[in-house]
């Protein structure tokens, strides 16, 4: 395979990577510090003086991290024992090995953006782990919960639509079923706009009823492979009388986006386009809004106990899918490592083997897209398959709104045309892709 282009990094002054490292990541760290500060009395009530001391320690560790970042200090090895500490420190050594003699040490505004941004979130987790007894505190939990509570109207609209659809799904013909499938896919795509790390942690809840705006949003889908997904799953449905059809969803953000993923997953079962759904979340708090196992279970519990009858019916159905083993949730440390996905079969062969059992894998969101393509400066027209560099455990599809300066698989001139009319087309989240590699 010809050499890959270089990685996005903070070396490119003015780039989105540079502005994220310079402005948004310090803002996210400051919000994390403020969150710890605002929970000071809770920590005291729960743990007494120890809780107060722990809060102070976590804040000082995060302040030190923010200073390292803002003064472009060398990236330092992790020190707190944890399941992935050695993998991280080996990766840091690998980054050092890529550098020339005179280039010094891996550091914030030099090393690959993907590495330093993932490292920052892992250092937040280390700071909290080093501050017992608050070592299981999720500094992002309240903003994830706020996103859920602020999106109630849109969630109720979505659950009502889902329950109505489930009541009549048996009567739909092929074309009607395909159209419903496309609607739920698009809702899951645009649910990805609700992303707290892009908004720097400020509210990004869904206010309107997405179902009513899908037609208007359709031209904003730059690569639309929904037909490929339909033919794959409808063929499975036709040819597999009783054999399972498995769709794996690599989750992204909690809150409204997770609702759109669960609604899509429920539709896939109701339409028999799938019989098993496997979900993959994050083992530690990640990129502000990413879903942890706690978030996944908390959200289903909230939906089940909603006052709205369609929401509570949906929550009860989802709890039943889990109880009956139709929905399975996986925790794997690989998703919160800095590695590009082309390294998965080497670094996490067990996870790669698990994904190989799927008929289709949906990767939600921008960070997953960055890892699928290695967060590299590919030309816009490079085929998606080439950018995957051999990563292909099963037929896969990225369901992503654009929030980073990497995009492949476009038509000749498509990227240049967008750049001419909208300089921010790659990073505002306004445009999306449903990009398939069969
Ligand atoms: O994966 P997601 O939630 O869709 O987006 C992750 C993100 O918010 O974080 C990075 C910028 O900080 C970008 O990859 C993107 O903007
Ligand atoms: Mn995310």
281 Rama class: left (phi>0) / alpha (psi -120 to 50) / beta:
beta
ipTM above 0.95, yes or no: yes
Measured by CA distance, the residue closest to atom 11 of ligand 1 is 198
Verify that 224 and 95 share a domain, yes or no. Answer: no
Among the listed residues 47, 41, 58, the one whose alpha carbon sits nearest the alpha carbon of residue 129? 58
What's the rounded Cα separation, in Å, for the pair 155 and 261? 12
Examine the domain organization and report whether 174 and 113 are in the same domain.
no
Q: Which residue range(s) make up the domain with 367?
A: 147-437
pLDDT recorded at residue 197: 72
When pLDDT is cut at 50, 70 and 90, the band that residue 200 belongs to is low
> Does a structural domain hold residue 88?
yes
- Give the C-alpha separation, 129 to 52, whole Å: 15
d(CA 63, CA 299): 31
Q: Same domain for 175 and 295?
A: yes
CATH number of the domain bearing residue 100: 1.20.930.60
Residue 158, pLDDT above cutoff 70: yes
Say if residue 42 is in the same domain as residue 182. no
User: What's the pLDDT tens digit per position in 172-194?
Assistant: 999 999 999 999 999 999 999 87
Same structural domain, 232 and 348: yes
The tokens describing 220, both together, are 């904003």
Q: Write out pLDDT tens, residues 360-402.
A: 999 999 999 999 999 999 999 999 999 999 999 999 999 999 9
Residues with CB under 6 A from ligand 1: 20, 24, 117, 192, 195, 197-198, 252-253, 287, 365-367, 370, 403-404
Write down the residue that tokens 């891996």 correspond to: 106
pTM of the predicted protein model: 0.97
329 in the same domain as 262: yes
Q: Specify whether the CB–CB gap between 374 and 425 falls below 8 A.
A: no
| 187 lies in the same domain as 333 | yes
| 96 found inside a domain | yes
Q: Is residue 11 part of a domain?
A: no
Which tokens go with 174? 């092929």
Beta strands in 147-274 (DSSP E): 221-224, 246-250
Please check whether residues 159 and 100 belong to one and the same domain: no
Q: Is 432 helix (H, G, I), strand (E, B) or coil?
A: strand
Structure tokens given for 226: 């929904």
Mutate-to-test residue for ligand 1 from 404, 405, 424, highest number of ligand atoms within 8 A of CB: 404
Q: Ligand 1 pocket check: which of 373, 403, 429 to mutate, most ligand atoms within 8 Å of Cβ?
A: 403
Decide which of 100, 129, 158 is a domain's last residue: 129
DSSP 8-state assignment for residue 77: -
Pair (352, 226) in one structural domain: yes
Alpha-carbon distance of 231 to 228, in angstroms, equals 5
Domain count across the chain: 2
CATH number of the domain enclosing 430: 3.40.50.10880
Give the chain's mean pLDDT: 96
Predicted confidence at residue 387, as pLDDT, reads 98
For the residues 73-99, what does the mean pLDDT come to?
Answer: 98
**Which atom of ligand 1 is least distant from the CA of 117?**
12
CA distance 70 to 259: 36
């Amino acid at each position: 395979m010809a050499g890959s282009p270089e990685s996005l990094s903070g070396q490119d002054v003015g780039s989105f990577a540079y502005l994220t490292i310079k402005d948004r990541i310090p803002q996210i760290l400051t919000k994390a510090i403020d969150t710890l500060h605002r929970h000071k009395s809770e920590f005291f009530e729960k743990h007494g003086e120890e809780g107060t001391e722990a809060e102070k320690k976590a804040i000082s560790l995060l302040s030190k991290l923010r200073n390292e970042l803002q003064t472009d200090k060398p990236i330092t090895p992790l020190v707190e024992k944890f399941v992935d500490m050695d993998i991280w420190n080996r990766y840091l050594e690998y980054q050092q090995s890529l550098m020339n003699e005179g280039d010094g040490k891996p550091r914030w505004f030099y090393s690959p953006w993907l590495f330093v941004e993932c490292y920052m979130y892992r250092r937040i987790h280390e700071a909290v782990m080093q501050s017992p007894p608050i070592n299981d505190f999720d500094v992002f939990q309240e903003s994830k919960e706020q996103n859920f509570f602020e999106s109630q109207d849109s969630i109720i609209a979505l659950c009502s639509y889902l329950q109505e659809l489930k009541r009549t799904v048996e009567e739909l013909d092929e074309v009607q079923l395909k159209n419903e499938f496309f609607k739920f896919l698009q809702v899951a795509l645009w649910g990805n706009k609700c992303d707290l790390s892009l908004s720097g942690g400020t509210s990004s809840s869904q206010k309107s009823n997405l179902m009513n705006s899908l037609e208007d949003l359709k031209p904003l889908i730059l690569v639309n492979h929904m037909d490929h997904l339909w033919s794959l799953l409808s063929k499975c449905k036709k040819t597999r009388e009783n054999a399972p059809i498995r769709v794996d969803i690599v989750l992204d953000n909690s809150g409204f986006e997770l609702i759109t993923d669960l609604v899509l997953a429920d539709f896939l079962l109701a339409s028999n386009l799938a019989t098993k759904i496997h979900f993959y979340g994050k083992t530690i708090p990640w990129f502000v809004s990413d879903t942890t196992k706690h978030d996944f279970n908390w959200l289903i519990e909230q939906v089940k106990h909603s006052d709205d009858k369609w929401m509570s019916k949906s929550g009860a159905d989802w709890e039943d899918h889990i109880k009956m083993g139709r929905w399975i949730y996986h925790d794997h440390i690989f998703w919160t490592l800095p590695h590009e996905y082309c390294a998965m079969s080497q670094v996490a062969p067990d996870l790669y083997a698990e994904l190989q059992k799927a008929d289709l894998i949906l990767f939600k969101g921008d960070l997953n897209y960055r890892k699928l393509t290695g967060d590299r400066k590919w030309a816009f027209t490079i085929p998606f398959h080439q950018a995957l560099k051999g990563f292909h455990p099963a037929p896969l599809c990225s369901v992503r709104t654009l929030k980073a300066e990497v995009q492949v698989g476009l038509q000749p001139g498509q990227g240049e045309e967008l750049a001419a009319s909208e300089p921010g087309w790659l990073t505002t989240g306004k445009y999306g892709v449903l990009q398939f590699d069969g």
